Amino acid sequence: MFDVAVVGKGLFGAATARHLARFDLRTVVVGPDEPGGDPDFRGPHGAHHDEARILVARGDAAEVELTQLAIDGMARLEQAVGSPLIVRSGALEVTARGTGAGSLVDGAVYVPAGSTTVDEPPPQGYFNPRRYLAAALQDAVGNGAETLGETVTSIEPSTAGYMLAAGSAGTIEVAQVVIACGAWSNRLLARRLALRLKTESVLLARLDEGVAAAVQMRPSVFHGPTGRVESIYTLPPLLYPDGNWYLKLGANTMFDSEVDELAIDDWYLAGDDDSARADLVDAFSIVFPEIEVLGFHSERCVITYTPHGRPFIDGLERPGMFVAAGGNGHGASWADGVGALAAALVAAREWDGLARNAFQVEYADKSPRWPGPLLLNDRLA
Which pLDDT score, from 0 to 100, does residue 42 have?
A: 64
Q: What would the 3-class secondary structure string for the chain be?
A: CEEEEEECCCHHHHHHHHHHHHCCCCEEEECCCCCCCCCCCCCCCCCCCCCCEEECCCCCHHHHHHHHHHHHHHHHHHHHHCCCCEECCCEEEEEECCCEEEEEECCCEEEEECCEEEEECCCCEEECHHHHHHHHHHHHHHCCCEEECCCCCEEEECCCCEEEECHHHCEEEEEEEEECCHHHHHHHCCCCECCEEEEEEEEEEEECHHHHHHCCCCCEEEEEEECCEEEEEEEEEEECCCCCEEEEEEEECCCCCEECCCCHHHHHHHCCCCCCHHHHHHHHHHHCCCCCCCEEEEEEEEEEECCCCCCEEEECCCCCEEEEECCCCCHHHHHHHHHHHHHHHHCCCCCCCCCHHHHCCCEHHHCCCCCCCCCHHHHHC
pLDDT tens, per residue, the chain with 381 residues: 899 999 999 999 999 999 999 999 999 999 998 877 666 666 666 777 889 999 999 999 999 999 999 999 999 999 999 999 999 999 999 999 999 999 999 999 999 999 999 999 999 999 999 999 999 999 999 999 999 999 999 999 999 999 999 999 899 999 999 999 999 999 999 999 999 999 999 999 999 999 999 999 999 999 999 999 999 999 999 999 999 999 999 999 999 999 998 898 888 888 898 999 999 999 999 999 999 999 999 999 999 999 999 999 999 999 999 999 999 999 999 999 999 999 999 999 999 889 999 999 999 999 999 999 999 999 887
pLDDT of residue 269: 84
Domain ranges of the chain: 2-84+127-195+308-366, 89-122+196-305
Q: Do domains 2-84+127-195+308-366 and 89-122+196-305 have the same CATH topology?
A: no
- Does domain 89-122+196-305 correspond to CATH entry 3.10.450.30? no
Q: Residue 270 has what pLDDT?
A: 86
| Residue 353: predicted pLDDT | 83
Tell me the CATH number for domain 2-84+127-195+308-366: 3.50.50.60
